């Protein structure tokens, strides 16, 4: 007999935000899924008619954990609109800010958001379960506290240059506000060294960064795990072995198309910022990968759809061409008609396709053979995609794979800051259009601005979570998380941990969607409703 069940799971995010998921399942398999961003925030409306630099103050506050990424975009959007000149020191200090924010998110996400699900009773019959529980259980796991504590260190470096994390506005058109001293550089280097010694090499890798960076294929990765006890028993070694044993590599595939804007503008290649020259100036490359071919990123190929979003209908349009959104009446999850409008998130599309944003997209772009000499060249994840394909495991591994490289980048960039040189060149204000983009920890983030008569006429933010949690588009195609949930087998509908793991593998931090809102108390965290 076919058992038809409807599950409403709310909320899915562990940190903050409101992502509601409605999945329909038959015989224990998800047949249809809808994601609902349940709150309207209106950050774009706030800025209409205001000072052109308002985005530097307002947009970092869109998200408590991606504020530096929003700032990177807001300052870049103004740089391109005002045609500023950026000194190398400014590009380095902005990149350091972006990289420290991303690297702090890596252990925080792994221990506080993701790995606690691996300690779920669903896996209790697996041989590695006891060890996973011992290390990764929420709050009491032996690695939990170490990982979460380590995650607080890189943002100390951000604070040295930005004053505080989160919610600094230190990146401004024309450069950065700070003019660091020898003391700041030395202390920043020492803090990152602690991060490496206290967690990255000792707890996470069980080997040196150099040894880990030699891994170029899935076979290399498996050999690395078995090379010695230190690597086998490191948190990464355990994570890989347990993931394969628990089957985390078997579900959560997604749409199979990936988008990244790339980030870390090279200190000598973006001194005269333009929209057109951006993609060849980034160190972490951008692009679109459709499962077979790499396509160069062109921001003009992005459109946003609102057919299934609670905004007045307009045709799918590029952010420069779309009006500020007009909010309509929304419904709660139970009363929502999913054939109509059902989310506060818009549905961004690249060349018309839903695309996954995030670390997995980035590491796939790293494997593009056409990458330039100053860009990352790392074939590993094209090989993993070929041999394993996308899954909860692949997505999590991609996120963690970035930590050693980011550590190396931050260390190198600190060494390149020239204390005698400029940090800021005062720009001239002017009207015009601008585009600023980056890779936030959770994926492609961009701001589009239009300035007219010295005030903001239009401001559009497309966040990585908009890409990932977006609803159906005009043609009825699912968003990436919706697609990733379809086909997922749910063992216990009273505790559908699989759905949570898929959503969390995207690091879906709803507070990062422009059109959503944070606001659930910590008590409701694990209350799954049926």
Partner 1 sequence: MQFHKDKKGGFLGENYVSKGGLPVINIPGCPAHPDWITQILVAIATGRVGDVLLDSFHRPKTFFTDFVQTGCPNAISFAEKVDGHFGKRGGCLFYEVGCRGPMTRASCNRILWNRQSSKTRANHPCLGCTEPGFPHHDLVKGSVFKSLKYLGFLPKDVPTGNTRLGYYTRAGFEKVLGTVEKIAGANKEHFETSK
> Which spans of this chain sit near partner 1 (rule: CB under 8 A)?
47, 50-54, 56-58, 61, 64, 90, 152, 155-156, 158-170, 172, 174-179, 181-182, 187, 419-420, 422-426, 454-455
Query: What are the E-state strand segments in 254-386?
Result: 258-260, 263-265, 282-284, 287-289, 294-295, 302-305, 347-350
**Minimum CB–partner distance for residue 57 and partner 1 (Å):** 6
**Minimum CB–partner distance for residue 170 and partner 1 (Å):** 5
Indicate the residue among 456 and 485 with the shorter CB distance to partner 1. 456
Indicate the residue among 89 and 336 with the shorter CB distance to partner 1. 89
**Minimum CB–partner distance for residue 449 and partner 1 (Å):** 14
Indicate the residue among 124 and 419 with the shorter CB distance to partner 1. 419
DSSP state of 343: B
Length, in residues, of the chain: 530
Indicate the residue among 290 and 431 with the shorter CB distance to partner 1. 431
**Minimum CB–partner distance for residue 137 and partner 1 (Å):** 24
**Minimum CB–partner distance for residue 174 and partner 1 (Å):** 8
Residues with Cβ within 8 Å of residue 210, at least 6 apart in sequence: none
Indicate the residue among 76 and 169 with the shorter CB distance to partner 1. 169
Token readout for 180 is 């660091």
Indicate the residue among 420 and 428 with the shorter CB distance to partner 1. 420
Token readout for 331 is 């419904």
For 185, phi then psi, to 5°, come to -65, -45
Stretch (H or E) spanning 468: helix 464-469
Q: Find where tokens 């008590």 sit.
A: 523
Query: What are the E-state strand segments in 148-209?
Result: 171-172, 175-176
Token readout for 440 is 């936030």
Token readout for 23 is 């999945």
Indicate the residue among 90 and 501 with the shorter CB distance to partner 1. 90
**Minimum CB–partner distance for residue 90 and partner 1 (Å):** 8
DSSP state of 170: -
**Minimum CB–partner distance for residue 399 and partner 1 (Å):** 23
Q: Is the peptide bond before 204 cis (omega within 30 degrees of 0)?
A: no
260 strand-pairing partners: 287
Stretch (H or E) spanning 46: helix 43-47
């Amino acid at each position: 007999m076919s058992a038809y069940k409807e599950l409403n799971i709310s909320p899915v995010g562990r940190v903050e935000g409101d992502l509601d998921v409605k999945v329909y399942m038959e015989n224990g398999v998800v047949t249809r899924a809808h994601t609902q961003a349940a709150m309207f925030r209106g950050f774009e409306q706030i800025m209409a008619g205001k000072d052109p630099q308002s985005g530097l103050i307002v947009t970092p506050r869109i998200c408590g954990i991606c504020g530096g990424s929003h700032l990177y975009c807001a300052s870049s959007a103004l740089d391109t609109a005002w045609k500023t000149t950026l000194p190398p020191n400014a590009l380095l200090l902005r990149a350091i800010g972006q990289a420290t924010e991303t690297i702090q998110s890596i252990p925080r996400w792994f221990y506080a958001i993701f790995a606690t699900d691996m300690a779920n009773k669903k896996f209790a019959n697996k041989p590695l379960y006891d060890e996973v529980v011992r290390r990764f259980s929420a709050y009491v796991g032996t690695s939990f506290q170490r990982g979460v504590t380590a995650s607080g260190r890189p943002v100390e470096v951000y604070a040295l240059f930005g004053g505080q994390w989160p919610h600094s506005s230190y990146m401004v058109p024309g450069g950065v506000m700070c003019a660091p001293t020898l003391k700041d550089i030395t202390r920043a280097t020492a803090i990152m060294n602690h991060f490496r010694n206290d967690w990255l090499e000792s707890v996470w890798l069980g080997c040196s960064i150099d040894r880990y960076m030699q891994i170029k294929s899935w076979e290399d990765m498996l050999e690395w795990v078995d090379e010695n006890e230190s690597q086998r028993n490191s948190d990464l070694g355990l994570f890989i072995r347990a993931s394969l044993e628990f089957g985390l590599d078997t579900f959560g595939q997604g749409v199979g198309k990936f988008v990244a804007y790339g980030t870390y503008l090279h200190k000598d290649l973006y001194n005269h910022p333009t929209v057109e020259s951006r993609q060849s100036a980034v160190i972490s490359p951008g692009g679109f990968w459709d499962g077979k071919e790499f396509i160069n990123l062109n921001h003009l190929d992005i459109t946003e759809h609102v057919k299934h979003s609670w905004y007045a209908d307009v045709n799918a349009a590029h952010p420069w061409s779309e009006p500020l959104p007009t909010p309509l009446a929304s419904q709660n999850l139970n009363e929502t008609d999913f054939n109509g409008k059902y989310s506060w998130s818009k549905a961004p599309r690249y060349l018309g396709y839903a695309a996954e944003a995030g670390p997995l997209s980035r590491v796939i772009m790293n494997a593009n053979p056409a990458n330039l000499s100053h860009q990352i060249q790392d074939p590993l994840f094209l090989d993993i995609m070929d041999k394993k394909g996308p899954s909860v495991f692949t997505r999590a591994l991609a996120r963690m794979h970035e930590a050693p490289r980011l550590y190396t980048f931050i260390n190198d960039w600190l060494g390149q800051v020239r204390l005698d040189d400029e940090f800021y060149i005062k720009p001239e204000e002017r009207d015009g259009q601008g585009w600023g983009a980056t890779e936030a920890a959770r994926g492609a983030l961009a701001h589009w601005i239009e300035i007219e008569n010295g005030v903001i006429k239009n401001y559009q933010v497309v966040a990585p979570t908009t890409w990932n949690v977006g609803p159906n588009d005009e043609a009825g195609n699912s968003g990436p998380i919706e697609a990733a949930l379809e086909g997922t087998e749910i063992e216990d509908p009273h505790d559908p941990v699989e759905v949570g793991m898929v959503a969390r593998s995207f690091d879906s931090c709803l507070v990062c969607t422009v059109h959503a809102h944070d606001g659930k108390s910590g008590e409701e965290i694990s209350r799954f409703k049926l």
